[in-house]
Amino acid sequence: MTDEHRALVERLFEAFNRRDADAIAALCHEDMEFFAITAEAVGRPDPYIGPAGLHDYLEDVAGVWEELLITPQRVRDAGERILVEGRVYLRGREFGIRDMPAAWIWEVRDGLFARGEVFVDPGEATRRFDPEPSRLG
């Protein structure tokens, strides 16, 4: 794990927990794609793209969740890909309170986030991050 990637993840998660759209956008490429679970909750079929998409995402989060906090616990990288495993705390009128594991796979380009995907099943994220099983022999 590079210190640069760890610091980038920490800055992104802190900015998200503050809902600081400008700080989030500053960490992302102009054409960044973000595939979030919240999109499903609001019926959005497409990823959030670029600064306008990130703004829409934060609006969707505010509309669905009264509170949403993300906490990274483990961070691994493989070149320009980063796997973050952690927890999500959610509170909303329709969904109640949830505290659950989650994972994120990020792709970094030129020191900025270029693509991100959220997983409610950390095992699925790990399988996607490490697609080939270990071979003993």
Query: Is 86 within the bounds of a domain?
Result: yes
Query: Is 83 within the bounds of a domain?
Result: yes
Query: Is 24 within the bounds of a domain?
Result: yes
pTM over 0.85: yes
Query: Is 63 within the bounds of a domain?
Result: yes
Question: Where residue 92 sits, what CATH number does that domain have?
Answer: 3.10.450.50
- Please write the tens of the pLDDT for every residue from 99-115: 999 999 999 999 999 99
Q: How confident is the model at residue 42 (pLDDT cuts 50, 70, 90)?
A: confident
Report how many domains make up the chain. 1
The closest of 79, 130, 135, 132 to 103, measured between CA atoms, is 130
Q: Is the C-alpha dihedral spanning 19, 83, 127, 45 positive or negative?
A: positive
- Please write the tens of the pLDDT for every residue from 9-33: 999 999 999 999 999 999 999 999 9
Domain span at residue 67 reads: 3-129
Query: Is 137 within the bounds of a domain?
Result: no
Torsion (CA) 127, 129, 132, 134 in degrees, nearest 10: -80
Distance (Å, rounded) from C-alpha 21 to C-alpha 116? Answer: 16
User: Is 137 a residue whose pLDDT tops 50?
Assistant: no
Query: Is 73 within the bounds of a domain?
Result: yes
